[in-house]
Amino acid sequence: MTESSASVGDKPLVHRPGRLSRRESRLAFGMTLPSVFIVMAIVLFPLLATFWISVKPIELADLRAPEVRTREQVRGDVTAVGDEIILRYKLRNSSRDKAVLAVTLEDIVPAGLDPLALDPRCTLDGEGLLFCVLGDFDAGQSETLDIPVRSTQAFIDNPVSAKDSDVVVRGSSVNPLLTTELTLDNFRRAFGVREFGTVLWTTFVYTIGGTAGALVLGLFAALLLNQTFRGRAVFRGFLLFPFVAPVIAAAFTWVVMLDPFSGSLNALLLQMGAVSEPINFFGVRSVDVQFFGLTVPVPMALSVVIAFEAWRYFPLSFLFILARMQSIPQDMYEAADMDGASPFQKFWALSLPQLTGIMAVLFLLRFIWTFNKFDDIFLLTGGNAGTRTLTVQVYEQAFALNNLGAGAAVAVLVFVLLAVFATIYFRAMPEEEGL
């Protein structure tokens, strides 16, 4: 609500919002505030949790709370009144480095079995409920609890196995995520490996190559489909197939097609005499290529993965670019035709300036999405043969090496790099051409 002003003579009059307007503003703010908090929680909580885990000395196994495992045994047999047996409970802390606090045990003792002696920590009520307060169990601690009982006529008349009731053991432990113990070893462990620089370089090469490839293919497809010809709708549907197909199906198709033993591409190259032996496209880190008399090492597996990325995601660029091209006024192209402009001149002078804004937006989106890509690389190569990116490094540190903190540290680096890129992008891109 803004203030309005007028002037009477030399003195301005300021009209402030009335009481009703202020009340309505407070009411609207109060009604929208819960939604704001919910959105902030959904967006910020996973991010803050990742930052928190990155400075915690925690492994994947630490997320599973320790527990006291129990095995119930019945020592002896009841055949007559007065027979004595022992109800035995074997308890063990499943964790080797964490204690379980305030352990309690509950069980139902069958009617007609009278206890001869009870552990001082246990009580037995009139309904046969055995309740024991066992205290704290240190890491790896084991204990055997024996309850001797004698049978009565009531048990002989209605024999019930002591094992028919479930033993309930409760306890608590300190959640490692809620402690104040912090460390920077996760960052040193994650970034101190020798191949980290290579992983970082591979990530940028993969991201820039995949993004540029998707934009170029999308632009080419949009220029092709911007023309009117029979079957254009059908052809457009075929172009959308890589994007709408499940990633597992698309990756499987490429793996089978490029297989060194039974792949169709290798069979075709061998038949044409282009190669003397099959090429392991996804298993070779690099190959030497002769270029103007120079031997240049070409990253084979990484190049194929980049090609897959460009092929799979160019339809999105194609749809956006085509929609923008179809909104360009045709009068400019008709005037260019009258002036004798060539197709390339019309594209360079008319189409490309109109597409700069949407291309910039697509570059930003595709860069962020490709930088965060994991499933494509993992399905194709598993991160081997020089294709390990930062996202694959997150998975390997957190789940393959069980170092959850180091995985979170790499994830923090991914976020920081994307934040830096977005900041540079918005500062360098003019408002009329960016977002």
Per-residue pLDDT of the chain (435 residues; tens, 9 = 90+): 444 444 555 555 555 666 777 777 777 777 888 887 887 788 788 888 889 999 988 888 788 888 999 999 999 888 889 999 999 999 999 888 889 999 999 999 998 999 998 899 999 988 889 999 999 999 889 999 999 999 999 888 888 888 888 899 999 988 888 888 888 888 888 887 778 888 999 999 999 999 999 999 999 999 888 887 888 888 888 888 889 889 999 999 999 999 888 888 888 888 888 778 888 889 888 887 777 777 778 889 999 999 999 999 999 999 999 999 888 888 888 888 888 888 888 888 888 888 988 998 999 999 999 999 999 999 999 889 889 999 999 998 888 888 889 899 999 999 999 999 988 888 877 654 544
Secondary structure of 349-408 in HEC code, one letter for each residue: HHHHHHHHHHHHHHHHHHHHHHHCCCHHHHHHCCCCCCCCCHHHHHHHHHHHCCCHHHHH
Tens digit of pLDDT for each residue in 19-37? 777 777 777 777 888 887 8
Q: In 3-state terms, what secondary structure has residue 111?
A: coil
Fold of the domain spanning 68-174? Immunoglobulin-like (2.60.40)
Q: What is the CATH number of domain 188-428?
A: 1.10.3720.10
Compute the distance between CA of residue 199 and CA of residue 158 in angstroms, rounded to an integer: 71
What integer pLDDT is reported at residue 179 of this predicted model? 82
Nearest to 179 by CA among 52, 64, 93, 61: 52
Instruction: Name the pTM for this structure.
Output: 0.77
Q: In 3-state terms, what secondary structure has residue 419?
A: helix
Q: Kindly give, in sequence order, each residue whose CB lies less than 8 Å from that of residue 317, ignoring residues fewer than 6 positions away.
A: 214, 215, 217, 218, 219, 222, 362, 366
Give the dihedral sign, CA 388/390/391/393: positive
Give the dihedral sign, CA 368/369/372/377: negative
Is 188-428 the same fold as 68-174? no
Compute the distance between CA of residue 274 and CA of residue 425 in angstroms, rounded to an integer: 43
Amino acid at 115: P
What integer pLDDT is reported at residue 304 of this predicted model? 94
Cβ distance 246 to 429 under 8 Å? no
How is 253-315 classified by DSSP, letter by letter? HHHHHT-TTT-HHHHHHHHHTS-SS---TTT-S-EEEEETTEEEEE-HHHHHHHHHHHHHHHH
Q: Which residues pair with 100 in a beta bridge?
A: 137
How do the domains of the chain map onto residue ranges? 4-54, 68-174, 188-428
What integer pLDDT is reported at residue 309 of this predicted model? 94
Write out the two tokens for 251: 């990756």
Nearest to 191 by CA among 417, 422, 430: 417
Compute the distance between CA of residue 358 and CA of residue 9 in angstroms, rounded to an integer: 53
Angle, helices 247-257 vs 300-326, to 10°: value is 130
Counted residue by residue, the chain has a size of 435
